[in-house]
């Protein structure tokens, strides 16, 4: 019987292990564990799927190591690629995937992203334009995925720094045998740009795959944190960031560019309201409390800011899982947390 799963192709941040150093979370001797954060939604006949078991594969981000993972573990080209934002640690493998498809099939390959994101990606890979069938994602607008049946996507814009133009979270709904599975991939994020109605749409989802770069806040790295401070008490670093910034900072990478009016008008909701930066969830703990996902998978861990600004050590996988369970038990969070390993297939039971 066919089933839908999320496969972890890579779980690392931009540099999981700095050259010349070690990292307790990542195994520098295992190239798969050094792959950047990448996932696939797959429809498969078996839990640990090999090539012939996979009916389709929708790949979210393709940075360092993601293609090597595909080559070793299933050696098939995903039906489509979805890019959350244009940073190279999420796009590098796109060249390999697109060229493979184009040379084998003599036609362009489907890549989904916002127009702003795609324009930035083309600067790095100008030769791919004729090999890609670009499928624009417009913030807040539902998109039916052409390559497989029963899958819809809503992109929600996020702030991940001024250089992450057109960055989005990707919210997938998979309709399968009169059942729905709902999955949200945050990509790299400091905070989502969600309207009131959006929280209702993404509430009680089956799975949240979240950027967990830090345990504690350091907003200048443009990633949110798991908690808002030690013992979930708002840290001075986070408080200072909130006090000195406005919503204009969050909107900057979406509006400060020449782009279609169709895109820019998506943000009228925020421009028409007197909103404060504190109105947006800047931590996983707050976001999980608001949307109550059934499962939350934490990827993209670094911990380097925790050491530098909070004198808290970098954890290994087991330690991070124990820490998260303890922290969220105290917060009475209803979600089940996972710190998945590469190749893990996350189901929805």
- Dist CA 106 CA 100 (whole Å): 10
pTM: predicted TM-score of the whole model, two decimal places: 0.95
What pLDDT digit, counting tens, does each position of 110-166 carry?
999 999 999 999 999 999 999 999 999 999 999 999 999 999 999 999 999 999 999
> Rounded to a whole number, what is the distance in angstroms from the first to the last CA of the chain?
15
The string of pLDDT tens digits covering residues 279-310 is 999 999 999 999 999 999 999 999 999 999 99
Split at pLDDT 50, 70, 90, the class of 268 is confident
- pLDDT above 90 as % of the chain: 84
Give the tens place of pLDDT for each residue, 67-90: 999 999 999 999 999 999 999 999
At 262, the pLDDT band (50, 70, 90 cuts) reads: low
Tens-digit pLDDT profile for residues 12-61: 999 999 999 999 999 999 999 999 999 999 998 766 555 578 999 999 99
List the CATH number of the domain containing 9: 3.60.15.10
DSSP-assigned beta bridge partners for residue 225: 214, 283
pLDDT mean across residues, the chain: 93
Mean pLDDT of 216-244: 96
Per-residue model confidence (pLDDT) at position 53: 84
Task: Report helix, strand and coil shares of the chain as percent, to nearest 5.
Answer: 35, 25, 40
The CA distance from 338 to 299, in Å, is: 9
272 pLDDT tier (thresholds 50, 70, 90): confident
For residue 331, is pLDDT > 90?
no
108, pLDDT greater than 80: yes
For the stretch 155-203, pLDDT in tens is 999 999 999 999 999 999 999 877 899 999 999 999 999 999 999 999 9
pLDDT value at position 255? 86
| pLDDT value of residue 128 | 96
Please report the pLDDT score of residue 234 as a whole number: 95
Question: Could you tell me where the beta strands, DSSP code E, fall in 14-85?
Answer: 38-44, 54-60, 80-82
Q: Residue 260 has what pLDDT?
A: 60
The mean pLDDT value for 223-238 works out to 96
* Cβ atoms 159, 186 nearer than 8 A: no
Domain of 209?
3-346
What confidence score (pLDDT) does residue 51 get? 59
Closest CA to 89 of 37, 156, 27, 158: 37
Instruction: List b or e across 272-311, with b for residues whose CB sees 16 or more CB atoms inside 10 angstroms.
Output: eeeeebeebbbbbbbbbbebebebbbbbbbbbbbbeebbe
Instruction: For tokens 């195994």, name the residue.
Output: 27
Please state the domain count of the chain: 1
């Amino acid at each position: 019987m066919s089933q839908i799963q999320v496969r972890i192709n890579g779980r690392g941040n931009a540099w999981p292990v700095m050259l010349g150093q070690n990292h307790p979370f990542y195994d520098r001797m295992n190239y798969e564990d050094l792959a950047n954060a990448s996932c696939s939604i797959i429809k498969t006949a078996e839990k640990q799927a090999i090539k012939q078991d996979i009916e389709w594969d929708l790949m979210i981000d393709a940075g360092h190591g993601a293609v090597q993972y595909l080559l070793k573990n299933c050696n098939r080209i995903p039906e489509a690629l979805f890019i959350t934002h244009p940073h190279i640690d999420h796009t590098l493998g796109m060249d390999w995937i697109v060229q493979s498809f184009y040379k084998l099939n003599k036609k362009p390959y489907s890549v989904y992203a916002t127009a702003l994101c795609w324009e930035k990606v083309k600067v790095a890979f100008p030769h791919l334009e004729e090999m890609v069938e670009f499928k624009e994602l417009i913030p807040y607008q539902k998109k039916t995925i052409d390559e497989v049946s029963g899958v819809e996507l809503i992109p929600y814009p996020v702030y991940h720094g001024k250089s992450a133009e057109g960055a989005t979270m990707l919210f997938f709904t998979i309709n399968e045998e009169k059942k729905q599975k709902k999955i949200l991939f945050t990509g790299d994020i400091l905070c989502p740009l969600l309207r009131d109605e959006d929280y209702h749409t993404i509430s009680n989802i089956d799975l949240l795959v979240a950027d967990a770069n830090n345990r504690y806040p350091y907003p200048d790295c443009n990633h949110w944190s798991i908690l808002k401070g030690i013992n979930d008490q708002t840290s001075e670093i986070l408080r200072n960031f909130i006090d000195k910034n406005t919503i204009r900072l969050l909107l900057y990478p979406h509006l400060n560019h020449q782009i279609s009016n169709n895109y820019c008008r998506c943000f009228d909701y925020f421009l028409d309201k007197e909103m404060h930066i504190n109105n947006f969830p800047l931590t996983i703990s707050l976001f999980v409390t608001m949307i109550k996902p059934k499962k939350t998978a934490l990827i993209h861990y670094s911990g380097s800011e925790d050491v530098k600004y909070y004198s808290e050590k970098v954890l290994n996988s087991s330690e991070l899982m124990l820490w998260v369970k303890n922290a969220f038990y105290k917060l009475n969070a209803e979600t089940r947390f996972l710190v998945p390993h590469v190749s893990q297939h996350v189901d929805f039971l």
